[in-house]
Structure 1
Amino acid sequence: MQDHAPPPEPQDDGSVADAYSRNWVDRYAPTAARPYLRLSRADRPIGTWLLLLPCWWGLALAMLYDGQARWFDLWIFVGCALGAFLMRGAGCTWNDITDREIDAGVARTRSRPIPSGQVSVRGAAVWMIVQALIAFLILISFNAAAIRLGVLSLIPVAIYPFAKRFTWWPQVFLGLAFNWGALLAWTAHTGRLDAPAVVLYLAGIAWTLFYDTIYAHQDTEDDALIGVKSTARLFGDRSPQWLRRFLMATVGLMGIAVVYAGLPQASALALVVALAGPWAMGWHMAWQLRGLDIHNPQKMLQLFRANRDTGMIPLLFFGAALLL
């Protein structure tokens, strides 16, 4: 195994080791608010994008499915963005509360607000509830079916932090939580849950297995020492082969979802354009595989962050298909 410098220790200003340098929280947020915004990962926006993009996929394919676009869809679009920011923050706060002892033993995470002493567990719990309540106010502006789905989403969110303790596949539980928005946004538009949304949800879970296995390779040595399980540890040097399988599952399932969604209403040209979305997404994932170096934590973080663009690619094609 190659030798690499350890992650940087927390700075005097309380910044977190794996945050973007000179991020807006460290530069512009009020000093008193910074620990709480760091707890919500506001200084690391990639997670919000990864939670949000499946929501927008679901909304776009729902409009392709029934051929309708209403003004309320604009609110669904905006509401999903606000909700993703808030629920990602609440989920990360819950994760950091439950993982505070684990985080203290991992070089990359010991600078987080709870293990570093910036925020108390009680303060974090209050902050989590505040974020969740604001997100709930957004949720209740949707239809009844979407509200029920939104409440159900709390189950995988609550389970995920504990998954690494009892299964080698905690990334599956992350996928269940992070892609729920595909179901919710579809239902917020159509008023019901249909098969294309479920297949799209499965595609998102496969994508999560891809990017979070890459992410987990940053911590394999520390995870092994403290007994934390992950697909990165399970696959080890076989990770590239498994990542290719997740790539194929993502592209194949998303392609099926597009066909299901497009056949009732979309034109042949719109369907072809929409199908180009998962195809192009697959090429971007293949590009990540070409640069894979599981023994280089900085490279793994770089590739993980590239998945914002990965998830944006099919959305652009779905949007173009809606215009045809």
Structure 2
Amino acid sequence: MGRSRSGRIRTAEQDPADPGTAPTPAAGRTPATGRTHAQGPLLHPVASGTAELRPDRDRPRAWHLLLDGAPQSLVDLADPTHLGFTYQRRLGHLIDLAAPAGKPVTVLHLGGGALTLARYTATTRPRSRQQVAEIDTRLTELVRTELPLERSWQIRVRGADARAVLERAPEGAADLVIADVFSGARVPGHCATREFAELAARALAPTGRFAANITDGAGLPFARAQVATLRAVFPEVCLVADPAVLRGKRFGNLILAASHQPLPLDELGRRVATDPSHGRIEHGRSLADFTAGAVPATDATAVPSPAPPDGVFH
């Protein structure tokens, strides 16, 4: 299998803080210590390239993780509930809606990066059990050293390929499987097939949900194929993206959610509407029309997502 790691594509400015919609950190929480802005940026070689930790100009304990110059994650050590990237906020909405507020959940994260979503889950849902697949062990070591996790969080990081971890996941145990798997700036083909989706469905509890962050550009051929792929496995599927991305006018992120049970579309729509960046949800007939005759990807036919255009990070 090809090397896979967590990747994040940011094609617009970072969202401003939105305290009115962000969950409140757990009462009495003591922020983890870690790198301070006074120490300045850090460049460090990792297996997947050169990692850079860059201080956030607006948040005194927040750090951007970049890999070979591409924005990957934003972590605020003082407030792990802050999700600065639009795609992370949308995945955060799905975490919020996975169970009643504050209830612990079991989550399998495929792709780790700076562990932003695992931190968010641990803070908003104390005592949650989380496993993260991140093949780049040198990146994980850097993150643990400079942006440490809190000792009370039940987060286990495994240095292995995302699909290999999914293949060994216990059957029916996860409330959420979140795929944010990138090799470089592309979703690897072996983590974007019907067989991969079937493995995710196997790992989920009966009421569990699968969510994925993907990227695409003009014509959206990869996104259309991914919708067709999930619809071949799950009866309920929706897509969330900026209108400009859905029209193929701009390269960017699209969030897919799938389940064997009805998705919380009304509440998800209300939460997406509060985001600083406008988003649209496609579901049902409109989502079927979106596929435009695309066929499910399989292990025999899969290709990675398209490379981002030159200059997309600038």
Could you say which structure has the larger radius of gyration?
1
- Greater share of residues in strand: 2
TM-score above 0.5? no
Which TM bucket (shorter chain)?
0.3 to 0.5
TM-score by length of 1: 0.32
